[in-house]
Amino acid sequence: MTKMSGAQAVVEALKRQKVEAIFGIIGGAVLPIYDVLYETPEIRHILARHEQCAAHAADGYARASGRPGVCMATSGPGATNLVTGIANAYMDSSPIIALTGQVNAFAVNSSYLIGKDAFQEADIIGITTPVTKYNYQPKKASEIPKIVKQAFYIATTGRPGPVLIDLPKNVQSETAEMKFTDNVEIRGYKPKTDPHLGQVKKAVELLFKAERPVILAGGGIIASNASPELLALAELLMSPVTTPLMGKGCFPENHPLSLGNLGMHGTRAATKLILEADVLLAVGTRFSDRTTGKLDEFCPDAKIIHIDIDTAEIGKNVDVDIPIVADAKKALKEIYKYLTKKLQKKESSQWFKRVQEVKDQLKDEVSGGEKDLKPPRLIKELRKILPNNAIVTTEVGQNQMWAALHFTAYEPRTFISSGGLGTMGFGFPASIGAKVACPDRPVVDIAGDGSFRMTEQDLACSVQEKIPVTVIVLNNSVLGMVAQWQRLFYGRRYSAVNLGSVPDFVKLAEAYGAKGTRVGSLKEFSNAVRKAIKSEVTTVIDVPISPEENVFPMIPAGAGLKGMVKSEEEL
């Protein structure tokens, strides 16, 4: 037992969790914690310029490192500004801890402020209940050590997700005897990680007999660090692997068995081959509507095995034949163990040949002259320049879909994108978080001009805190993805999508003390990227592209996988 203030207990508990960085913005209701941080060199505080950026940065940190990211904000508007970032982390199962200040629960002069609409009071517990895995509001300082410990435990175990701790100011100031323990006992929370043996054996039986297996590998593979197990199983089965957006990178995309992404803008090979599957092994994925298209046309002839750590995902969207509730890594290990007893690794198979044939047929051709700044070419060029372990984040819209389609990801945690919520403005602050987690690797945000404007103010943070990242603005002067829908489905009635040519992104970067450069050819682009990833200061590369580009292939909203088209003419 040690006597200390609530604020000290918060910081001490964070240190015990080996937190190295907090992304946040100060305010009245978190002054006591910031006062403690002032003398805590072990924890680096990174001053964001908007709380949304702080939350996305914590999220990017978590996705790049696999360790929970921490963000902090003051009460009221500070806390509500975090909400988009928290909701984003929730949708993509990313472990972040959000600390918010709150008005006094019991003020020194015994006036109770919570619930009285005090200055800068917001009911952040009520607001975030649907978008957090759990949230806490300690009423006494002595509860803090246990709460912080539990918060990290909940955020990082089972299906990961955000946890918020709302700290009334008086609780931060109050002193108490603190007891720090390593034990966590939450009677309503016992995540099940070991697969049921009977179910594993059924899955093994089905996979053993499968003639045309396909693996759909989602974000759960990345969360459970199951890439080696996935690779081993895919090779043993000679099964091609496709990933929804969240799984991108969990399987090396240059592998002969990789089909690339599945979804609204997935690859044609993945879309075609998954429909030929007789057994679909879906791991750590929630069958989002963006992935499956119309449900009754999603693999109607395949038997489906679904492995997920979240029981509630089983049968939520797709009815499955063999559910396995377990940690992906453990389940894949078990399946592999029993399958190797029955199956020899083969050099080739009928199905493997078919996979190669379809992949060859449906390879995308990327052509154009030197001055043609076509996004797919730019992204392929970027891949050539970046080392394998470089981290790419994306914004939302066409930029994101081009990146998903054309950036070959080799390793897990190297492709970071807002999948579930589709949050414009995520990529840039997430790149800052990723760079803090992995300072020795280049981090590049593939951006659209619309999205970048939503969080561009954190250029100030990246410059001042010396967190150099590269932002590639695929600048089409429109809200491109929306314009694409208007072009294809609303008779080219371009309502509210024109962004004009403001701002000048080069000048904008320079105004923040970052580097800005505009490129006019593929060559200039590669030179600029090469320079940027070595630069000690953040670089914004402005790449003017045509506002008329479409992302194809595409499955129109409401259609099934079979409805994929590869050009406007096919619609």
- One-letter amino acid at 238 equals M
Q: Which of 283, 321, 287, 285 is nearest to 304 (CA)?
A: 321
The residue annotated as part of the active site, out of 481, 515, 525, 564, is: 481
- Looking at the Cβ atoms of 145 and 427, the one nearer to ligand TPP is 427
Pick the stretch among 121-129, 215-223, 353-361, 379-387 that binds another protein (CB under 8 A): 121-129
Q: Which window, 47-55, 184-192, 388-396, 442-450, contacts another protein (CB under 8 A)?
A: 184-192
The helix or strand, by DSSP H or E, that contains position 155, with its residue range, turns out to be: helix 144-156
Q: Which of 77, 228, 256, 315 binds another protein (CB under 8 A)?
A: 315
Say whether residue 129 binds another protein (CB under 8 A).
Answer: yes
Given 311, 408, 526, 550, the residue binding another protein (CB under 8 A): 311
Q: Provide the phi-psi class of 246: left if phi over 0, else alpha when psi is between -120 and 50, else beta.
A: alpha
- Shortest Å, Cβ 562 to another protein: 25
Smallest distance, another protein to C-beta of residue 286, A: 13
Q: Which residue bears the tokens 């163990």?
A: 337
Nearer to ligand TPP, 57 or 478 (CB): 478
CA distance 288 to 290: 5
Min CB(166)–another protein separation in Å:
11
Out of 119, 177, 337, 489, which one is annotated catalytic?
119
**Which residue is associated with the tokens 């679909």?**
280
Q: Which listed residue (48, 89, 105, 154) binds another protein by CB under 8 A? A: 154
How many CB atoms within 10 Å of residue 152? 23
The one of another protein, ligand TPP, none whose footprint includes residue 315, by CB under 5 to 8 A per kind, is another protein
Asked if 316 is part of the footprint of another protein (rule: CB under 8 A), the reply reads yes
CA–CA distance, 416 with 434 (Å, rounded to integer): 9
Amino acid at 487: R
397 binds ligand TPP, rule: CB under 6 A: yes
d(CA 524, CA 511): 23
Catalytic residue among 12, 51, 334, 395: 51
Q: What tokens appear for 422 in the block?
A: 């589709």
Residue 120: active-site member: yes
Task: Look at the alpha carbons of 415, 421, 423, 429 in this order and tell me if their dihedral is positive or negative.
Answer: negative
Region 17-56 residues binding ligand TPP, contact defined as CB under 6 A: none
Q: Which is nearer to ligand TPP, 158 or 448 (CB)?
A: 448
Smallest gap, in angstroms, from Cβ of residue 169 to another protein?
A: 20
CA-to-CA distance for 99 and 467, rounded, in angstroms? 23
Between 197 and 312, CB nearer to another protein: 312
Choosing from 4, 9, 474, 554, the residue that interacts with ligand TPP (CB under 6 A) is: 474
Is residue 134 a contact point for another protein (CB under 8 A)? yes
Asked if residues 321 and 279 have their Cβ atoms less than 8 Å apart, the reply is: no
Bond preceding residue 553 cis, omega within 30 of 0: yes
Q: Is 451 in the site for ligand TPP (CB under 6 A)?
A: yes
User: In this complex, which beta carbon is closest to ligand TPP, that of residue 298 or of residue 505?
Assistant: 505
Query: Residue 476: which of another protein, ligand TPP, none does it interact with, CB under 5 to 8 A by kind?
Result: ligand TPP
Between residues 249 and 420, which has the closer beta carbon with respect to another protein?
Answer: 420
Q: Which of 35, 276, 289, 310 binds another protein (CB under 8 A)?
A: 310
Specify the residue, 328 or 396, whose C-beta has the smaller distance to ligand TPP. Answer: 396
Rounded Cα distance, 417 and 314, in Å:
24
SS3 label, residue 491: coil
Draw the binding track, 480-509, toward ligand TPP (x: CB under 6 A; -: no contact): xxx---------------------------
Which tokens belong to 4?
A: 């200390």
Shortest CB 205 distance to another protein, Å: 25
**Binding residue for another protein, selected from 116, 179, 185, 186, defined by CB under 8 A:** 186
Which option in another protein, ligand TPP, none does residue 423 bind, with CB closer than 5 to 8 A by kind? ligand TPP
* 400 catalytic per annotation: no
Total binding residues toward another protein, as defined by CB under 8 A: 17
Q: Tell the residue number behind the tokens 């390593």, with chain if given.
A: 182
Q: Is there binding between residue 312 and another protein (CB under 8 A)? A: yes
The CA distance from 220 to 159, in Å, is 8
Catalytic residue flag (residue 199): no
**Among residues 297, 304, 279, which one has the least CA distance to residue 212?**
279
Sheet hosting strand 213-217, strand order edge to edge: 258-261, 241-243, 213-217, 279-283, 303-308, 322-325
Minimal distance, residue 362 CB to ligand TPP, in Å: 24
Whether 119 sits among the annotated catalytic residues: the reply is yes
- Residue 481 annotated in active site: yes
Using the rule CB under 6 A, is 396 a contact of ligand TPP?
yes
In the range 187-216, which residues lie near another protein by CB under 8 A? 187-189
The secondary structure of 75-124, three-state, reads: CCHHHHHHHHHHHHHHHCCCCEEEEEEECCCCCCCCCCCCCCCCCCCCCH
Q: Does 393 bind ligand TPP (CB under 6 A)?
A: no
Of 99, 101, 105, give the one whose Cα is nearest residue 164. Answer: 99
Which of 17, 38, 40, 29 has its CA nearest to residue 96? 17
Dihedral angle sign, alpha carbons of residues 262, 395, 556, 569 = negative
With CA atoms as reference, report the closest residue to 242 among 302, 206, 283, 207: 283
Is 398 a residue that touches ligand TPP (CB under 6 A)? yes
Are β-strands 175-178 and 2-5 bridged in parallel, bridged antiparallel, or unpaired? antiparallel
- The DSSP letter of residue 438 is -
**Binding of ligand TPP by 424 (CB under 6 A):** yes
Residues that bind another protein (CB under 8 A): 125-126, 129-130, 133-134, 154, 186-189, 310-312, 314-316
Tell me which residues are annotated as active site: 51, 119-120, 169, 481
Residues that bind ligand TPP (CB under 6 A): 395-399, 422-425, 448-451, 474, 476, 478-482
